[in-house]
Structure 1
């Protein structure tokens, strides 16, 4: 099983999400991610990947993978904030892994 950790930014975003169905779907996707089954995803650059969740406004989770044992959830958003979320995810990834 893969260890999944999250940033404070991701935790805050998920906590504030009011759409209960979306929260359920997001948590289910995180569980699948732990077993190596990310589902609908794509690379967006700088080692950051985007998980697409097809519910509501089209939620997105941004993460980086380090080796085969650790995934760090960086931030989340939806289709309407995708461009700024991607920039934020790349900056978070640089900050989290600047020392290694």
Structure 2
């Protein structure tokens, strides 16, 4: 399971031109990137990306802490999308997404397994 580091601002940027500087570094899993790239609902994809950008700046919005350090970011669009993530210090790990209640228990279990594997790799 590979992690991809999110783009960073160039050295010496002017945050007044770009906006508020990020508080968190965002790492995305390949599972997350694949799911997002294949999402047909463009409006939902845009809302998810906006929420991630806000979370990067410390504004998480509608979030629920689950178990074992995994949280879900709830996006009110379409069937009710979820972004499962975990935090370690100033780093966010975007684990995977889910798009309806019928798959939610399996999605949470998968996210917890992924987070456990990532934590083992960090230590």
TM-score calculated relative to the size of structure 2: 0.78
Q: 2-side partners of 1:36 and 1:97: how far apart?
A: 22
Q: 1-side partners of 2:45 and 2:99: how far apart?
A: 13
Runs of at least 4 residues off by over 2 Å: none
1:85 to 107, 115, 121: 107
What are the Cα deviations for residues 29-81 of structure 1, in whole angstroms up to 9, with x where unaligned? Answer: 000001001100111100000000000000000000011x2000000011232
For this pair of structures, how many residues does the alignment match? 99
* Higher RCO (CA < 8 A, seq sep 6+): 1
1:75 matched residue in structure 2? 96
The structure richer in strand per residue is 1
Q: 2-side partners of 1:13 and 1:82: how far apart?
A: 15
Structure 1 alignment gaps of length 5 or more? none
Q: 1-side partners of 2:29 and 2:117: how far apart?
A: 11
What SS does structure 1 have at the residue aligned with 2:66?
Answer: strand
TM-score calculated relative to the size of structure 1: 0.95
Q: Which has the larger radius of gyration?
A: 2
